[in-house]
Amino acid sequence: MTLTLTPEEREWLTGSAGAPRALAMRVIAETARLMGAEKLIPVASAHIDGALYHGDSGTLFGEKLVDLGAKVVIPTTLNVGGVDMHCGAKIRLPAHEHDMAKRMMRAYEAMGCAATWTCAPYQAGHRPAFGSDVAWGESNAVAFCNSVLGARTNRYGDFLDICCAITARAPYYGLHIPQNRRATFALDCSGISPDLRNSDVFWPVIGTLFGQRAGTDIGVVLGLENTATEDRLKAFGAAAASAGAVGLFHILGVTPEAPDLATVTQGHTGIPVIPVTAAMLDAARAGLSTTSNPAIDAVAVGSPHCSIDELMEIDRLIAGRKLTRPFYACTGRHAVKALEATGRRKALEDAGVTLVADTCVVVTPILSELTGVLMTNSGKFAHYAPGNTGYAVQYGAMAECVESAVTGHLSRNERLWA
């Protein structure tokens, strides 16, 4: 398929709007050709995943854009960076890498990106309108944006994302195209006990199962009406995007493009329906833990970043006790400020909780040891932590994570799963 640019876009390529936009247009146009896009489309906002330090070249690219005078022209938020510049969590990067990570973050701020530094920008106020086209990076953010907000984005990779923000253009392909958003299979959870479906610990597990089945397909989940909260949908999408390549999911009667089966399938109602069984859930849950060792060395939650509701839940569960194991709660500046407004930040930290803002323990070295057992309530942490941190993983509910951090040993309530 031939890419057709508007006269204005062709002029941008020649440098009529300056060197930064010409560079960005070259990147976008070449990507569009590779993806078989027929045109570019305007995008209303961007979320940048490319400001996380993975090597000096990324920092130098960002600084080159700044030197050229690049500025974003649409509302643009920033995903996690490589250092915590808000709460001051200790980052164990060598001096050169620490400096380059901070320089990279400063470069993106200099281009006019909002200093959100969170993988949950939708909980920090960045919520595009239903049906709008945007250019977002970060797997959970993309899944939430498409699925829960009903905006339209593909997974925009590092450096392509900032190019979209500089031009307000993106290639028209993939999930921007309405017919590519229809559900082609269903998972039916109606046979699972209501108590389990209505528990927080269930959602990363069913998200993992969904991602394993979906791969790059689009699916719909049945039987979860009246059980979803925003944090549960966040956890589902993050797990699904880690276990598969899920950029969009539908939950019947919950997400905006799935009011009924005919709508979500765009009239193709004869899709395969897979009943979810207890055995399937047991297998998915078992896969989130990589060890049977009951000794817990650290706990980490907040992937995606903890909301203010989740931080308050941690405070409630600790109930004035002292933690005996390191407990890291990764979150955004917006949630830290909300926590401070409640007057409970000091109590959490005095109990032994380390608040980590701007980044998280899986993408930059914060954990004090590289061996042992890390417990988490996050399907995404469970997926990435062994390779990224060196820790084995135990998966459990938030309440189980807190109890395990208090006792130092695995605490797990199997009643829901019986």
Residue 414 CA to residue 418 CA, distance in Å, equals: 6
Phi-psi region of 322 (alpha: psi -120 to 50; beta: other; left: phi over 0): beta
DSSP 210: H
Q: Quick one: pLDDT band at residue 259, thresholds 50, 70, 90? A: very high
Domain residue ranges in the chain: 7-177, 182-286, 289-413
Q: Quick one: pLDDT band at residue 269, thresholds 50, 70, 90? A: confident
DSSP 225: T
What integer pLDDT is reported at residue 49 of this predicted model? Answer: 97
302-341 confidence digits (pLDDT tens): 999 999 999 999 999 999 999 999 999 999 999 999 999 9
Rg (CA), the chain: 22
Domain 7-177, CATH among 2.40.30.170, 3.30.365.10, 3.30.465.10, 3.30.499.10:
3.30.499.10
**Is the pLDDT assigned to residue 402 strictly greater than 80?**
yes
What integer pLDDT is reported at residue 231 of this predicted model? Answer: 98
**Is the pLDDT assigned to residue 17 strictly greater than 80?**
yes
Instruction: Give the whole-number percent of the chain exceeding pLDDT 70.
Output: 100
7-177 matches 289-413 in fold: yes
pTM assigned to the model: 0.97
What integer pLDDT is reported at residue 352 of this predicted model? Answer: 98
**Is the pLDDT assigned to residue 75 strictly greater than 90?**
yes
Domain 289-413, CATH among 1.10.1200.10, 3.40.50.300, 3.40.190.10, 3.30.499.10:
3.30.499.10
β-pair partners for 43:
none
Instruction: Give the whole-number percent of the chain exceeding pLDDT 90.
Output: 97
What integer pLDDT is reported at residue 56 of this predicted model? Answer: 97
Beta carbons within 10 angstroms of residue 399's beta carbon: 19
What integer pLDDT is reported at residue 252 of this predicted model? Answer: 98
What integer pLDDT is reported at residue 291 of this predicted model? Answer: 96
Phi-psi region of 124 (alpha: psi -120 to 50; beta: other; left: phi over 0): alpha
**Is the pLDDT assigned to residue 370 strictly greater than 90?**
no
**Is the pLDDT assigned to residue 418 strictly greater than 90?**
no
Burial of residue 359, with CB atoms counted within 10 A of its CB: 0-12 exposed, 13-18 middle, 19 or more buried = buried
Amino acid in the structure at residue 188: D
Which token pair is 255? 């997400």
